Chain A
Amino acid sequence: MTTLADRPLATETSQGIGGRLYRFLRSIPTWVLWVLVILWSLPTFGLFVNSFRGRDSQRTTGWWTFEGPWTLDNYEAILSAGPTGGLWQAFLNTLAIAIPATVIPIAIATFAAYAFAWIDFPGREWLFIGTVALLAIPAQTSLIPLLQLYSGGAHLTIPGIEKTVTIFPDLGLAGEHVAVWLTHTGFALPFAIFLIHNYVSQLPKDVFESARIDGADHFAIFWRLVLPLSVPVLAAFAIFQFLWTYNDYLIALTMIGANGVNLPMTVRIASLAGEFGRLVHLLTAGAFVSMAMPLAVFFALQRFFVRGILAGSVKG
């Protein structure tokens, strides 16, 4: 697209107030853009300002008055242990969920993406399409059976003899972080395989062929060629997946449920929001604590994040 100013019109050259007004109007698209930017940032900015204002200020005046007293009490209260806080523990829990739930799918998906891209086997195309099609399946479809699996194992009753065979033992995973990672791992794989496959399959073919002639097997090729060459896409997926699992609410809420000590920040804050009246002044600080890390990751590594989103959708 080109801007309007690229094409001179008769009115543009005319002098006087009319011409000036006209030129001003031509810059309106830019103004609209910046108005939108401000509108988009204002809610977050307001929350940020309020998180440094005391309980009474928050209750009586809007953040735009910028009335003090300025304080860090909200942050102190929400991070400390206790019924009104405990966000520090929740933050650790969030990390304990998000880090494995990022690392494990990357490893597994990269193996699969390599197989789909560079190992010839019958039915490869269909298996790939089938795998990636699962991308659209809503998590809700799997929640009930998965929770049953984690809290009771999987059992198959053989018809006729009524003997129940245990396929997956009851490990008591419900309420534990492991249950959340396993779920995230499975849900992330279709997208991860799709994204990484798009990249890995574009790597130059002759590199692989010469490596094979030199006697490298698939494992060596994978380890010494594919992994180092795919670092950009792995980083893109890692950031995407980290933000996704860090911000996840539904799966953590379902799989951890009542086990309060293991709850991540999103669930903790949402339950604080349930007591909106009493602790409303802490909620601003709480929400901001939960946003700080993703925002830092986002602004620092935005390029990778955007690359991940683009590669995942535009190429489809």
Chain B
Amino acid sequence: MEKLYDTAIGVVLAIALSGAIFIGANKLFDLTRSRWAVFTTAVGALAGFLPFVLFAANDLIVDGVVTTVVATLIGAFTGFLLGTVEPPPIRLAIGSLGGLALGLLMGFQSQGVFGVTAEGVPVLLPARPALDPSSLILWSLIGLAAGGVWWVIRGRRGSPLRTLILWGTLGWFLAAWLIPDLVSGTRNEAMVAAGVTGLGLGATAGLNPLPNSNEQYLVGERSRSWIFLVPAMVFIGATLVIPTIRTIYLSFRDERGGEFVGFQNYADLWNDRTINVSDFSSMFTSQVFIWGVVVLVVGLLVGVATARRRKEGTFIASGASNAAMAGAVFLLVFALFSTLRGTVINNLWWVFTVTVIATAAGLAVAVLADRARFENVAKSMIFMPMAISFVGASIIWRFVYQAKQPTPAVPDGGQTGLLNALWVGLGQLSNSTTQKYIALAILAVIVVALGYVAMRGFRAGALGVAWGSGLALLFFGWFMYALLAGIGGWDPETGFATPLLFVQDAPFNNVWLMVVLIWIQTGFAMVIFSAAIKAVPGELIEASRVDGATETQTFWQITVPSIAPTIGVVVTTLIVVVLKVFDIVKVMTNGNFGTQVIANEMWQRAFTELNFGLGSALAVALFVGVLPILYLNIRRMQEGVAQ
């Protein structure tokens, strides 16, 4: 509890402090409209305060607190004078003197003694440059020349003197502070180096004329956008932009981020564990592949048959043949992914399967639920898994997949997982005598009924009904055959249950893990599709029905094209979500049993083995994976802006 109070106090303090800073900054810039001098005083105070805080924090000056206070006062006073005095020569003098004073203060207080590092190693602190007159003159001249060029390039805008002084000062700063050795100078050298820098910057400020009220307003306006943006930009920069750049940098370094190792980390990624194609040929004998080919042939035959019947061409892509061929392609890709093994392959398999099925299922549910009774109840039940954490969902499904091995005392294993209970029960049914024939009789009735309906639907011209019941007939027919031939988790020889190890048996355990994510993401797809379908103009659908289109035709030719952009959004969103799948794999298998994916591999390399180089390379692999999506999103945004 104590911890919680601490946290609460921390939160309140942090929010109050950031709120105060934000409101303060806003109030500060409000001053630009009414009292300019107060504004310049505040800006001057900040100009004195910020650099000296930085110096003090890095131990570059002695008596940090006092010096910072003095610097703030000098800055505030200079700012106040610059906000009130009007004659240009006096302004120049004020600015120069103020800057000079700050510079001299910095130089005078510069730390010249030995400092001590955190480990207790004494070092000289770099606040006193060893000045080299020729270098100073040279760089100042270079600065002046660059300033002149810059002024011409900018179209001779503003005061040339101001530009020259600013650039000359930059040249001086370079020669005084960045080039020389910063530890071997004296206090006087430090005062010269800092004093001239301050003088130049102060003079630049003093050369600005006192702005009129309109200019004052503009200054306030422009800086206001920054006050509103800076907090967000700081966070985004610190948590997304800079870390991404650093991750790319680390991916070329060794495990502790030290030595540069070139592409070694990426080369290490390229092995049998990430992409393994050795078993490629066994794809052609796998069941999924054979089924895919069968369905493909069926689809082609249907297309040819349609063409024959309508007597046009040799092949017509009817709804049924399209559906069959889409299913076939899905099966063939599935067969490919299940025979090629490895982390990257798994990740692609996840992306393919979950995106396709969740999108299709979401669309199907959205269509089925549309205008159904209790539509909202049905939709919220399908949507509910979105509220559950991936960890919670994984645990829910681990219970569903649970398998218990049989013992002599409990031959069926006493299955407590729903799927294995069904599977073992099915096996017992298939190996029973009377029950089996009762089940077969029920199935036979269903098959006959379906056959009747298919025929009737065909005659009535309702092809959807005919095809639907025909497919169902095929399924039940197959099921009858399977029940006769023996199916399910029961071994009649030993009299023991043979439950399926859903989580352990490679490669299809990957699919059972994917089911968890499909379970979660279908609701997401459904909600978006449901809204999109409701947004399809009613007149369009009316018109198509008046023209005599069937439900199926209306769906494929009116609804689907109208929601095509939404399908694009759902697919890209899902790809990003699935690509970085982590929690489910981590909780269910931790990448064992051939279920490793990139995100989990990255986590293990980086945070259990502390190999930051390899971990970063894996993170970069994920990053590269989302780049196409990033590009698509930008394109979409640009179109949105253009509209």
Chain B residues within 8 Å of A80, by CB: none
Decide if A144 touches B619 in the complex (CB within 8 Å).
yes
Chain A residue with the shortest CB-CB distance to B381: A37
Interface stretch (choices A58-66, A69-77, A228-236) = A58-66
Contact A249–B414 (Cβ < 8 Å): no
Q: Contact: A9 with B620, CB < 8 Å?
A: no
Question: How does the 8 Å CB contact mask read for B439-472 relative to A, with 1 for contact and 0 for none?
Answer: 0000000000100110010001010010011000
Is B273 engaged at the interface, CB distance under 8 Å to the other chain? no
Which residues of chain B (31-61) have a CB below 8 Å from chain A? Answer: 33, 57-58
A310 located at the interface, meaning its Cβ lies under 8 Å from any Cβ of chain B in the complex: yes
Per the bound structure, the CA–CA distance linking A255 and B394 in Å amounts to 22
Say whether A269 faces chain B, with CB atoms less than 8 Å apart: yes
Judged by a CB distance under 8 angstroms, whether B485 is at the interface is no
Contact A294–B388 (Cβ < 8 Å)? yes
Task: Determine whether the beta carbon of B641 is less than 8 Å from that of A140.
Answer: no
Q: Does B438 contact A (CB under 8 A)?
A: no
User: Are the C-beta atoms of A217 and B33 separated by less than 8 Å?
Assistant: yes
When distances are taken between beta carbons in the complex, the residues of chain A under 8 Å from B514 are: none
- B381: chain A residues within 8 A (beta carbon): 37, 40-41
> B533, A1: Cβ atoms under 8 Å?
yes
Q: Which residues of A contact B181 (CB under 8 A)?
A: 161
Q: Is B109 an interface residue (CB 8 A)?
A: no
Q: From A185, which residue of chain B is reached at the shortest CB distance? A: B235
B328: shortest Cβ distance to chain A, in Å? 23
Residue numbers in B under 8 Å from A142 (CB-CB): 239-240, 243-244, 247
List the A side residues contacting B417 at CB < 8 Å. Answer: 62
Cβ B399 vs Cβ A46 within 8 A: yes
A310 B580 Cβ-Cβ under 8 A: no
Q: Are B239 and A119 in contact (CB under 8 A)?
A: no
Given A136-B633, A145-B250, A58 and B392 contact (CB-CB distance below 8 Å)? no
Chain A residues near B524 (CB-CB < 8 A): 309
- Is A96 part of the binding interface, using a Cβ–Cβ cutoff of 8 Å? yes
Given known contacts A37-B382, A161-B182, A269-B391, A261 and B634 CB-to-CB distance under 8 angstroms: no
Number of interface residues of B (CB under 8 A): 140
Given contacts A96-B7, A185-B239, A298-B384, contact A61 B414 (CB under 8 A): yes
- Which residues of B are found within 8 Å of A58, using beta-carbon distances? 416
Q: Is the CB of B462 within 8 A of A9?
A: yes
Establish whether residues B626 and A287, one from each chain, have CB atoms under 8 Å apart when the complex forms.
Answer: no
Taking CB as reference atom, which chain A residue is nearest B579? A138
Task: Return the chain B residue nearest A44 by Cβ.
Answer: B396
> Complex Cα distance A104/B638, Å?
29
Minimum CB–CB distance from A151 to chain B (whole Å) comes to 12
Contacts of B405 in A (CB 8 A): none
Pairwise interchain contact A145-B247, C-beta atoms closer than 8 A: yes
CB distance from B8 to the nearest CB of A (A): 8
Q: Are A111 and B606 in contact, CB atoms less than 8 angstroms apart? A: no
Q: Mark B1-30, 1 if CB is under 8 A from A, else 0.
A: 101100110110011001100110011001
Given A11-B460, A22-B456, A254 and B398 contact (CB-CB distance below 8 Å) = no
Chain A window 166-208, contacts with chain B (Cβ cutoff 8 Å), 1 for yes, 0 for no:
1001000000011000110111011001000000000000000
A169 to B241, CA, bound (A): 19
- Collect the chain A residues with CB atoms within 8 Å of residue B19's CB: 107
Binds A, one of B162-170, B224-232, B338-346: B224-232
A15 proximal to B (CB < 8 A): no
- Tell me if B145 counts as interface (CB < 8 A to partner A): no
Partner of B465, one of A25, A41, A306: A25
Given known contacts A145-B250, A249-B583, is B382 in contact with A1 (CB within 8 Å)?
no
- Residue pair A62, B569 in contact (C-beta under 8 Å): no
CB–CB B225/A294 < 8 A = no
Question: Which residues of B in the span 229-254 have a Cβ within 8 Å of any Cβ on A?
Answer: 229, 231-233, 235-236, 238-244, 246-247, 250
Compute how far the CA of A30 lies from the CA of B400 in the bound complex, rounded to whole angstroms: 26
Given A96-B7, A261-B3, A287-B392, residue A140 in contact with residue B453 (CB < 8 A)? no
A314-B634 contact, Cβ under 8 Å, with A163-B182, A290-B392: no
In the complex, chain B residues whose CB is within 8 Å of the CB of A315: 640
Quote the shortest CB–CB distance from B453 to chain A (angstroms). 6
| Min C-beta distance of B454 to chain A, whole Å | 10
Chain A residue nearest to B569 (CB atoms) is: A313
Selected interface stretch from B96-104, B198-206, B317-325, B361-369: B361-369
The answer, yes or no, to whether B161 is at the interface (CB within 8 Å) is no
A135 within 8 A of B: yes
A140 to chain B, nearest CB (A): 5
CB of A273 within 8 A of CB of B235, answer: no
Q: Are A273 and B370 in contact (CB under 8 A)?
A: no
CA separation between A58 and B397, bound complex, in Å?
Answer: 15
Q: Across the interface, do A43 and B396 meet the contact criterion of CB distance under 8 Å?
A: yes
Least CB distance from A192 to B in Å reads 9
**Contacts known (A37-B381, A250-B582, A294-B387); A133 close to B239, Cβ less than 8 A:** no
Q: Contacting B391 at CB < 8 Å: which of A1, A132, A266, A306?
A: A266
> A227 in the interface, Cβ–Cβ < 8 Å?
no
| Chain B min CB distance to A78 (Å) | 12
Question: Which chain A residues border B30 with CB–CB below 8 Å?
Answer: 217, 219
B365 touches A33 (CB 8 A): yes
Pick from A143, A186, A219, A291: contact of B392, CB below 8 A. Answer: A291
**CB–CB B365/A139 < 8 A:** no
- Is the beta-carbon distance between A273 and B398 smaller than 8 angstroms? yes
> In the bound complex, how far is the Cα of B3 from the Cα of A157, in angstroms?
36
Does B456 lie within 8 Å of A47, measured CB to CB? no
| Alpha-carbon gap, A127 to B633, bound state (A) | 14
A116–B233 Cα distance when bound, in Å, is: 12
Residues of B within 8 A of A131 (CB): 232, 236
B474 at the interface (CB under 8 A from A): no
Contact of A137 with B388 in the complex, beta carbons under 8 Å: no
Q: A40-B519, A187-B240 are in contact. Are A25 and B228 (CB under 8 A)?
A: no
Known contacts A40-B384, A136-B630, A138-B623; is A186 also within 8 Å of B395 by CB? Answer: no
Interchain CB contact under 8 A, B387 and A133: no
Contact bitstring A107-144, B, C-beta under 8 A = 1, else 0? 11101101110011100110111011111111111111
From B243, B527, B551, B603, residue with most partner A Cβ within 10 Å: B243
Is the C-beta of B372 less than 8 angstroms from some C-beta in chain A?
yes
Q: Which residue of B lies closest to A32 (CB)?
A: B368
CA–CA, A147 and B408, complex, Å: 52
Closest chain-B Cβ to A230's Cβ sits at a distance in Å of 14
- Is the CB–CB distance between A114 and B392 below 8 Å? no
Known: A36-B382, A138-B623. 17 other contacts (CB 8 A): A1-B371, A1-B559, A25-B453, A28-B468, A36-B368, A47-B396, A96-B3, A136-B633, A138-B626, A140-B599, A140-B622, A143-B619, A185-B239, A249-B389, A283-B395, A290-B389, A298-B384
Ranked 5 nearest A-B pairs via Cβ:
A186-B239, A247-B389, A115-B228, A298-B387, A112-B232
Instruction: Give chain B's interface residues, CB within 8 Å of chain A.
Output: 1, 3-4, 7-8, 10-11, 14-15, 18-19, 22-23, 26-27, 30, 33, 57-58, 126, 181-182, 220-222, 224-229, 231-233, 235-236, 238-244, 246-247, 250, 257, 365, 367-373, 377-378, 380-392, 394-400, 414-418, 421, 449, 452-453, 456, 460, 462, 465, 468-469, 519, 522, 524, 527-528, 531-533, 541, 545, 551, 554-555, 559, 566, 569-570, 573, 576, 579-580, 582-583, 586-587, 599, 602-603, 606-607, 612, 615-616, 618-620, 622-623, 626, 629-630, 633-634, 636-638, 640-641
- The 16 listed contacts between A and B (C-beta, < 8 Å) are A1-B541, A11-B456, A34-B378, A40-B384, A41-B381, A42-B418, A43-B396, A60-B416, A112-B231, A119-B228, A121-B225, A121-B226, A129-B637, A133-B630, A138-B619, A299-B380
Chain A positions near chain B (C-beta within 8 angstroms)? 1-4, 7, 9-11, 18, 21-22, 25, 28-30, 32-34, 36-37, 40-44, 46-47, 50, 58-64, 92-93, 95-96, 99-100, 103-104, 107-109, 111-112, 114-116, 119-121, 124-125, 127-129, 131-149, 161, 163, 165-166, 169, 177-178, 182-183, 185-187, 189-190, 193, 217-219, 222, 243, 246-250, 254, 257, 261-262, 266, 269-270, 273, 276, 283-284, 286-287, 290-291, 294-295, 297-299, 302, 305-306, 309-310, 313-316
